[in-house]
Structure 1
């Protein structure tokens, strides 16, 4: 599954970018999911909540993490932007900050258009799932949920 994922191009992005309700999109690469989400938040003046249990991984990733197999880039990423995020130390932090060379797409979609976008992704054979939500700067965050950006 990992090799197939790395061989899959993010060509669906061109289709998604033309769809109503798609506000922002980026490929998840060297800064990890958290770094790219932080960039989206900073660029739009929003904040984000991520539900860690919704972030998909390949089979075996938790076991590898338990054996100490964590890319050095994951920890360096956190050092570079950790002041702007709220995520507990451990597996979830390492996962969300993990640098990718061929990651998937991170797409910000208006809830009213989420089903339409999900259908396009499913029809294209692209695994997908909502992993969180974007909030205005003045909205309250839930307790215990990873925060990608807290405006100062």
Structure 2
């Protein structure tokens, strides 16, 4: 007779307790990253490399022929939530977004997995992978393989490959003077994640958080069909100001944001005033230097929302002003209810200005 031996109950470990940071707040500060890349050797030129690292765009793009481009990107981070399925879903949505931000359609993904073996249950890791696979299925792509390592902190993400018609490729560096700027998702993800880390986020706010961070930016494919949409990028770890600055420097223009027009998650303002701010928010601000100008006397909590690292954030779109209303309406019609015109492109020294 076989006798079942009782097994000790496995202790549930909070995923966020195993990581020193979470989500896109884990990214190296933009100023540090620029310094790291500054003196890297340049190989080439490669005639078919249409987008490389020069303008800090969302993905690399290679011309297969005169009509079709292949898009390649990778994104991974440590958990910002404790639910393993939600972590997988958020990380996968964030990684796939880079392809949509270029105007492309993803075709397959490879998983990137690092887990502290012995500290986290295999069942939990399986749930993370399940969440990622769910989002990939929603995007219509297979997880075709991947790589895993034993890592001190949990890490998950994807490498994603996509395709794009060459005339629909949208870079972050092609904004034109006079363009309107549109943001498709509300800000405040980093503030919410800081509250999650301290167990201070309400159940309703958590649902809002998961809803926005797992909403695929598929609409980028539709935007790219419009020749009046000149530039796109997604707003992630460097905050709205940081990614706005990349647009400004890439196109040699001045980016102007209207602070009162910026959409926010429902509790973002309150939480920011209560001091729920990520370390990445401070690092981002220190990296911008004199290229960003804010209204005199702007409260710190409002600045923190501008530097707030967004995980799986919205698309920032630069389009002809006469198409702004239609572009916002398109975004709202497919689930981006907070989409709004948030600024404009002007002539001037490359940088970002915010107006109250």
Q: TM-score range by the shorter chain?
A: 0.7 to 0.9
Contact 2:328-2:341 within 8 A present in 1 as well: no
Q: CA shift at 1:16, angstroms?
A: 0.6
Partner of 1:19: 226
Aligned partners of 2:355, 2:330: CA distance in 1, in Å?
28
Aligned position for 1:98: 308
Counterparts of 1:113 and 1:124 in 2: how far apart (Å)? 17
CA distance in 2, matches of 1:124, 1:43: 29
Q: Which residue of structure 2 lines up, in the alignment, with residue 62 of structure 1?
A: 269
Residues 85-122 of structure 1: per-residue CA shift (max 9 Å, x gap): 01245122211111111111111111011122123212
117-126 or 69-78, larger mean C-alpha shift: 117-126
Partner of 2:344: 133
Three-state SS of the structure 1 residue aligned to 2:293 is coil
How far did residue 123 of structure 1 move?
Answer: 2.0
Counterpart check, 1:109 vs 2:316: no
3-state SS in 2 of match to 1:56 = coil
Which of 193, 217, 242 does residue 10 from structure 1 map onto? 217
TM-score norm. by structure 2 comes to 0.38
The CA distance in 2 between the partners of 1:121 and 1:62, in whole Å, is: 24
CA–CA distance in 2 between the matches of 1:112 and 1:63?
A: 35
Q: Counterparts of 1:89 and 1:66 in 2: how far apart (Å)?
A: 9
Secondary structure class of the residue paired with 2:346: strand
Aligned length: 143
What does the per-residue CA deviation read over 1:63-101, in whole Å, with 9 as the maximum and x for residues that have no partner? 111211111111100101132101245122211111111
Structure ID, larger Rg: 2
**How far does the alpha carbon of each residue in 1:34-62 deviate from its partner, in whole angstroms, 9 at most, with x for none?**
11111001111110211111111111111
Name the structure with the higher strand share.
2
Q: Return the alpha-carbon distance in structure 1 between the equivalents of residues 249 and 303 of structure 2.
A: 19
Partner secondary structure for residue 130 of structure 1: strand
Is contact 2:272–2:302 with CA below 8 Å preserved after alignment?
A: no
TM-score between the two structures when normalised by the length of structure 1: 0.86
Q: Structure 1: which 5+ residue stretches go unaligned?
A: 147-152
Return the alpha-carbon distance in structure 2 between the equivalents of residues 6 and 104 of structure 1.
9
For 2:318 and 2:348, locate their aligned partners in 1 and report how far apart those are by CA, in whole Å.
16
**Cα distance between partner residues in 1 of 2:325 and 2:266:** 27
Partner-residue secondary structure (3-state), 1:59: coil
Q: CA deviation at 1:17?
A: 1.5
Pick from 35, 43, 46: which aligns with 2:250? 43
Runs (4 or more) in structure 1 with deviation over 3 Å come to none
